[in-house]
Amino acid sequence: MGSRLRSQLSYRTSFAADLGASMLFAVVDLVEVYVIFHNVPTLGGLDLPSALLLFGLSMASFSLANTVCGQLDTVPQYIRSGTLDVMLLRPQPLLAQLLIVDVSLRRIGSGLVGLFVLGAALTSVHVHWTAARVALLVSAPLSGAGIFAALFIAAGALQFWLIDAGEVTNAFTYGSGYASHYSSAVLPVPVRLTFAFVVPAAFTGYLPTLALLGLPGPPWLPAWLGWCGAGIAVGALVVALGLWRAGVRHYSGAGG
């Protein structure tokens, strides 16, 4: 991993361009949020400063997970090419090899935008600070990253059965990342519960925002769940790693 990171940093102009592109995509998402709140004063019970707080938390979480685990969406390519069989022969964990084979620092650019927005939002919202809320603010991006990482691992594991369905699983990884930028209260109850307890994107930004601001949650999604992000992240990772082990045991080779 160290050699790969050094190789990316050695071409500084190229790295700066890639990092700038990553930041630009995040800024486009941010502009979308601004345009919505330019036309409506509140959405899903949140005003613009609260929505920016949510955006900052979710974007920082997704960027960190995408930097570490985003390359798992290339698992179908490794299966088709037979490269995965070579990795299985090495005395190293398969998941660890896949995580470092194509690590890309440029993906952290969106996280920098998220942290900037988070800092700016904190100057505009009213938070009754306590030690517990400070701890929640620090832990929420890490818990959110753990949740998104679990989604990437689970999506990669499903490729052992689906073989060539990367776009299908991307709908749950990148799709949940996009959905996490907005208030879950705008979703119909079945979809809201799906993004809370099946694909727990609501725990990455929306629910921690409610807990920080002391706002009530929508029906079936009480605000106190915002304090449960760390537990949800651990549970999601346990499930995802179990699914990964099952997928590796199921895999019988590329053939040919």
Q: Please write the tens of the pLDDT for every residue from 120-133.
A: 999 999 999 999 99
In angstroms, rounded to a whole number, what is the distance separating the alpha carbons of residues 104 and 18? 10
Tell me the pLDDT tens digit for each residue of 11-35: 888 888 988 999 999 999 999 999 9
Sketch the domain layout of the chain as residue ranges: 2-250
In tens, the pLDDT along 99-113 reads: 988 788 888 999 999
Q: Which residues contact 129 (CB under 8 A, 6 or more apart)?
A: none
Q: What is the pLDDT of residue 121?
A: 96
The confidence score (pLDDT) of residue 254 equals 64
Q: For residue 246, what pLDDT is reported?
A: 95
The label of the residue with tokens 């879950």 reads 184
Main-chain dihedrals φ then ψ at residue 46, nearest 5 degrees: -120, 140
- d(CA 79, CA 251) in angstroms, rounded, equals 9
Q: Identify the segments of the chain with pLDDT beneath 70.
A: 163, 254-256
Q: How far is the first Cα of the chain from the last one, in angstroms, to the nearest whole number?
A: 31
Q: What is the pLDDT of residue 255?
A: 60
Kindly give, in sequence order, each residue whose CB lies less than 8 Å from that of residue 187, ignoring residues fewer than 6 positions away. 179, 195
Distance CA 228, CA 143 (A): 9
**φ/ψ of residue 41, rounded to 5:** -70, -35
pLDDT of residue 145: 97
Confidence (pLDDT) at 256: 52
Q: Running DSSP on this structure, what letter comes out for residue 46?
A: B
- Per-residue confidence (pLDDT) for residue 166, from 0 to 100: 72
Partners of 43 in beta bridges: 46
> How many Cβ atoms are within 10 Å of 244's Cβ, its own excluded?
21
**What is the DSSP-derived secondary structure letter of residue 90?**
S
Given this model, what pLDDT does residue 243 score? 95
